[in-house]
Amino acid sequence: PARRTIRIGVAGGHYFAKIHSGIGWREILKELLHLKRPVLGARNEWRALQLLPRIGVHTMTPVAYGLRGRNPARMRSFLITEELTGTTSLEDLAAVWAVRPPSSRLRHALIEQVAAIVRRMHAHGLNHRDCYLCHFHLDLASAHEPVDPTRLRLYVIDLHRAQVRRCTPRRWVIKDLAGLYFSSLAGGKLTRADRWRFIRAYEQQPLRRILRERAAFWRRVERTALSLHRRLH
């Protein structure tokens, strides 16, 4: 309720403006009681959009940011980004896989690129907090038609809840990875072999070593994802 998004046209170009108004002390206290950092405005997304290109992750192009006020409950801010065109979300792309399966090369390339992006974000202290397939967009122009697995370009979008720190806490790493797992469950988009491929690409370790040293971590990711799936379905 404290954020609205509008599409605007300026000098022949199109942009999206996210306008944040104050969320009020009640919402701030509710978030704090749940041990969550409240989203007070557009600053989170602005910081994330500054960081991602520096670490080699494609995202929206920011063009303007503004902030007014010091009272966290009544602070107002805005963020304007260039419109992202010619893309499709991985959620939409995977939705047709049941009737039009992709080539194994394309499937593997997408899984490994998503894993590499998320690994890079976490390694540089950024967690998304809404890390679902719908927030990874494939650039159709760079991939060509039919999609060329060797020319993929993925964009990460909708970062208004993202957090940037020196080091990503384990709790938020698990939440991001569980979000991806959860969003892959709808419609049976990914197989167990696909998930192992993702884990290997994310960990950058042989599977034998992962099973020996990180099995408990990935069981926690799976439990978190399945718990979210049960709660929502």
Q: What is the pLDDT of residue 99?
A: 81
Q: What is the pLDDT of residue 147?
A: 72
d(CA 6, CA 66): 16
Which DSSP category does 34 fall into? Answer: T
Q: What is the pLDDT of residue 145?
A: 63
8 Å CB contact between 160 and 3: yes
Which of 8-17, 76-85, 115-124, 141-150 has the weakest average pLDDT?
Answer: 141-150
Structure tokens at 104: 């194994």
Structure tokens at 89: 């979300």
What confidence tens digit (pLDDT) does each residue in 207-222 have? 999 999 999 999 999 9
Q: Tell me if residue 130 is catalytic.
A: yes
CA nearest to 182, candidates 218, 135, 229: 229
Q: What is the pLDDT of residue 141?
A: 81
Q: What is the pLDDT of residue 25?
A: 87
- Rounded mean pLDDT, 73-93: 93
The whole-chain average pLDDT of the chain stands at 91
Q: Is the pLDDT of residue 86 over 80?
A: yes
- Rounded mean pLDDT, 94-118: 90
Of 92, 130, 148, 158, the catalytic one is 130
Q: What is the pLDDT of residue 189?
A: 67
Q: Is the pLDDT of residue 48 over 90?
A: yes
Which helix H or strand E contains 138, and what residues bound it?
strand 136-139
Q: What is the pTM of this model?
A: 0.91
- Rounded mean pLDDT, 114-140: 96
Q: Is the pLDDT of residue 57 over 90?
A: yes
Q: How confident is the model at residue 195 (pLDDT cuts 50, 70, 90)?
A: very high
CA nearest to 116, candidates 185, 193, 55, 206: 55
- Rounded mean pLDDT, 96-124: 92
Q: Is the pLDDT of residue 171 over 70?
A: yes
Q: Is the pLDDT of residue 143 over 80?
A: no
- Rounded mean pLDDT, 48-62: 97
- Rounded mean pLDDT, 117-122: 98
Q: Is the pLDDT of residue 228 over 70?
A: yes
Q: Is the pLDDT of residue 151 over 90?
A: no
Q: Is the pLDDT of residue 186 over 80?
A: no
